[in-house]
Each structure stands twice: as C-alpha cells, then as structure tokens.
Structure 1
Amino acid sequence: RDPLPVEAPAPTDRAAIEANARAARAAETEARAEREAAANAARAAREAEFRAAHEHTALANRLDEARAALSALPEATTLDAALAESSASADAAGAAHGTLVADAPDLEACKASRDRAAAAVQGTEQEINAQRIRLSELTGIIGIIAGEGVEAELADTRERLATAERTKAALEREVAVLRALIGALDTAQQAARDRYFAPVLAELRPMLRLLWPGAELRFDGESLLPADLVRDGKVEPIGTLSGGTREQISLLVRLAFARLLARSGRHAPVILDDALVYTDDARMEAMFDALTLQAQDLQILVLSCRNRALRDLGGRKLRFEPVTPGV
C-alpha cells in the first residue's frame, strides 16, 4: 500500500520538522510491513486454493472408487443374514468354550494324579522284581526239599492232621455235653431260686403293699438279696433308694422270713433295734400297722431309745424292775 501523506510542519521549528521526518519514516516502515504481510497472505491464499483443488480431485477419485466398491457389494439383506449367522456362530462358539472351560479338569490335580500313578507304577515294578527274586529262592528250596523225602513227611503230616481232627471232634462233643449240662444246671438253679423266693414273696407282698400299693420286690439270684423295687411301673435299684425306704424294705423282709419259719414250725423272735431311724412320719404309721399285723403270729421285740417316735406303736412295753433278794 502507498505511504500515507504527512502534513509538513512549519519550517520555523527544526525539532518539529525532525519529529515529522521520523514519523514519516516510521509510517513508511509500517506501510512496507503491511504490504509484505498482504503479499504473504495472497501467496498463502493461492497455495490454499491449490491444495483445495488437489484435495477436491483426490476426494472425487475416492468417491468414484467407493461407488464402484459399493456397487460390487451384495445386497443389504444378504449382509444382515450373514451378520446374524456369524453372530449365532460366535455365540455358539462362546457357549462351547464356556462348557469346555467348566468341564476341564484341574491342571494341578491332573499333575498330582499323574505323579501318583507314576509312583504306583514304580512301586509295582519294584514289587514284581522282589517277587521274581523270591520265586527264584523258593524254586531252589523246593528243589532241595524234593530230594529229602518230602513224600514221607507229607504222609506223616496227613496222619497228624487226621489225629487232630479226631481230637477236635471229641472235644466238640464234650463241649456240647458240658453246655447242655450248664443249661440244665442253670434251669435247675433258677427253679430252686423260684421255689426259695416264692414263699418269701408270698409273705412279703401283702406287707409291701401296705406302704406302696401294687409294688413288687425283686431279689438277686446270686446274692439272694433284694435288688430292685418296682413301684408305679418303674424299676428302682435298691442302691438308688433313700435310707428310709431301704430300712423299711429290710424290716419287711425280716418279717417275711420270720413268718416263713413260723409256718414251718420253727418259731423265732424278731428283734428290731432302732430299725426305723430314717422313716418319715407317714411311712412310720404304715410300718406300725405292718408290725401290729405280724405280731398276731410272731414275737416281735422293738428296742429303741426314741420313745416319742414309737409311742403310737402299741403293744406291751417292757420295763426293767429291781430284783428283790430272796423273792
């Protein structure tokens, strides 16, 4: 662009003239710079236009190529079907892969099984070799024995076996006889116990039921002592009963034996020395009734220092009286 006109100052002021000159030079310099910038911009515009034309030509060529390729492609429906088929195949392959992964054995477990099988094979081979060596040894032993009269030894062994079998048969017969004898003795012993206890139980049962209605007392067949008290349908071992219950049973058993002796004509007094120590008041009344009932046929002596506890027993009280000399 052309430099701008600068208005000349009055020549009267030298400084103003110089300032105007400097301003003019600066304006000229600026104008030149602007002109060069405009020229550069024009060149850049021309270059951009050239590049745009070149790119337009390239894009046109690519568009023609794309149109040609598109015309060579199959129909869209065919592509959709192929895509669906490929997707289905991919899904099936994925499912099969998941199944194979799930069913695949654990690698470490397979290695452990392989190592174990290898160790087992090695052990079996060692055992086979050992058995082969042992077979060779036994074959040699058999060969040695074969020349030492093994037939005679075999005949002797068979004879000893026959003797042992005859002894065994005799012992088995003896065992059978002894078992039969033991069974007969057990039966006889049980019958004897029943005959022994039946009269005692017959005498004991009425007195026992004064204290516990419907109760039964069982005796031990070996020790012949009371073993269990059956009351209210429950079996109670003697050892689990209270002290009062045990002393009541002991007293009633003594009374039953005394009655049994009396019935056989062998009367014996029954002496009770503080026999009811742990019995409560309610049971004490029942025991007094049992003693009174048995005292009709038996002589019963009750010794006690507990007069208050036995004051309701009744019967004749015995006292010590001084003896007068000469009377």
Structure 2
Amino acid sequence: MAGLNAEIRAQSEEAVEEKCRETSEALTAANARMAAYEKEVAVLQRVTTALENARSEAQELYLKPVMAELGPLLRLLFDDVAITFDDKTLLPQTILRNGQEEDVDRLSGGMREQLSVLTRLAFARLLARDGRPAPVILDDALVYSDDDRIEKMFDALHRQSRDQQIIVFSCRQRAFQKLGGNVLQMTDWQP
C-alpha cells in the first residue's frame, strides 16, 4: 500500500492529467490539420483531372487540325513521313520516316527548320480557313537546307503563296531568287 501511495504521489507531481489533456488537444489539432490536408488533396486531385481533361480537349481542338494541314505539306517534301507529338508539351517528339523513328532533337538543323516552316504554313492555313488570314514571315528560315530540299521547300512556299501572303527575309539573295515573288529594295528616304 505504501509503495502504491508513493507511486501515486510521484505521478501526481509529474502532472500526468495535464499531459493527458495536452496530448488529447494536440491529437484534436492534428486531426483537424489532417482533415484540412485531405480536403486540399481532394481539391488538387479535381484540379489535376480538370487540367488533364482540358489538355486532352485542347489537343483534339488544336493539334488534330494542325496535323490535318501539316500532312499534305509534309508530303510535298517527303514520300513517307509522320510526326508524333508529346502529350504533355504538344511539341514534336518523333518523326517516322521510311519506317524509321527518330527523335526530333536528333534531326539535322535543316530538317528541323523545314518542319518549323511547314508547321507555320499549316497554322497560317488554319487561320485563313477561320477567316483570320495571317502572313507567314520567314527570316533566314532555310539556311541549313541542302539544294535539293530547298527547291522542294520553294515549291511548297510557292504553292502556299497562292492562298497566303508569305514574306521571306534572307541575306542569301541568289539562293532565294528562284522563289520568285516581289523583291523589295531599300532606298534612301527622301523628305
């Protein structure tokens, strides 16, 4: 009995009841924080789902029409080619040419610039079809293209120039002479 009384006295001096109450309050606060985090997680999951759905819808709305316009333009230069786009960035990821798949990053500078020009033409065709024609402006866009490919690009640009305004800036006058069109000359300004 004396031993138990001594233990009770020792425990009562350590404020066990207060520690129990503090622990209980801390548990209640932790549960409230956990509920808030669970609510935040649920909201973030809904936002993530909504963003993924919006990206998918945007892909359907924008990427497919661009691909539909880009396909015929690609066939002007290449016999058998297809492009795949990254689902997250919507940037060109790979190109399938003659049954061989290549990363776009590993393509030559000329090939990448040709794809870029053709993609711009495809976007311009879409805008024109929507009743919002926009000129295609190319500034030294085909500097890395070899002679055969640049002639095919000129054919593509010439065909597109019937329906779209294409403005080409280049320091390579002889190379671009075959493109035709109106050559602008700089003259001194006279007041």
Give TM-score scaled by structure 1 length.
0.47
Question: Residues 220, 275 of structure 1: CA spacing in aligned structure 2 closer, same or farther, 3 A cutoff?
Answer: farther
Question: Residues 161, 275 of structure 1: CA spacing in aligned structure 2 closer, same or farther, 3 A cutoff?
Answer: closer
Whether 2:23 is the aligned partner of 1:157: answer yes
**Counterpart position of 2:156:** 290
Whether 2:106 is the aligned partner of 1:262: answer no
Question: Residues 318, 168 of structure 1: CA spacing in aligned structure 2 closer, same or farther, 3 A cutoff?
Answer: closer
**Counterpart position of 2:113:** 247
Greater fraction strand: 2
**Counterpart position of 1:203:** 69
What is the distance in 2 between the residues matched to 1:261 and 1:199? 11
Amino acid of the residue matched to residue 42 of structure 2? A
Question: Residues 203, 161 of structure 1: CA spacing in aligned structure 2 closer, same or farther, 3 A cutoff?
Answer: same
Greater fraction helix: 1
1:104-163 deviation digits (Å, cap 9, x = unpaired): xxxxxxxxxxxxxxxxxxxxxxxxxxxxxxxxxxxx999733444413432442243234
What is the distance in 1 between the residues matched to 2:77 and 2:35? 59
Structure with higher RCO (Cα < 8 A, 6+ apart): 2
Larger Rg: 1
Amino acid of the residue matched to residue 117 of structure 2? L
What is the distance in 2 between the residues matched to 1:273 and 1:178? 44
Q: Can you give the 5+ residue segments of structure 2 that lack an aligned partner in the other structure?
A: 1-5
1:90-110 deviation digits (Å, cap 9, x = unpaired): xxxxxxxxxxxxxxxxxxxxx
Q: Give how far 1:289 is off.
A: 2.4
What is the distance in 2 between the residues matched to 1:317 and 1:148? 96
Q: Give how far 1:275 is off.
A: 2.2
What is the distance in 2 between the residues matched to 1:142 and 1:174? 46
What is the distance in 2 between the residues matched to 1:200 and 1:207? 11
What is the distance in 2 between the residues matched to 1:291 and 1:266? 19
Question: Residues 216, 142 of structure 1: CA spacing in aligned structure 2 closer, same or farther, 3 A cutoff?
Answer: farther
**Counterpart position of 1:218:** 85
Aligned length: 182
CA contact (8 A) 1:270 1:299 kept: yes
In the TM superposition, 1:130-141 aligns within 5 A as none
In the TM superposition, 1:1-327 aligns within 5 A as 144-212=10-78, 213-218=80-85, 221-222=88-89, 225-313=91-179, 315-318=180-183, 320=185
User: What is the root-mean-square deviation of aligned Cα atoms in Å?
Assistant: 3.2
Give TM-score scaled by structure 2 length.
0.74
What is the distance in 2 between the residues matched to 1:282 and 1:262? 29
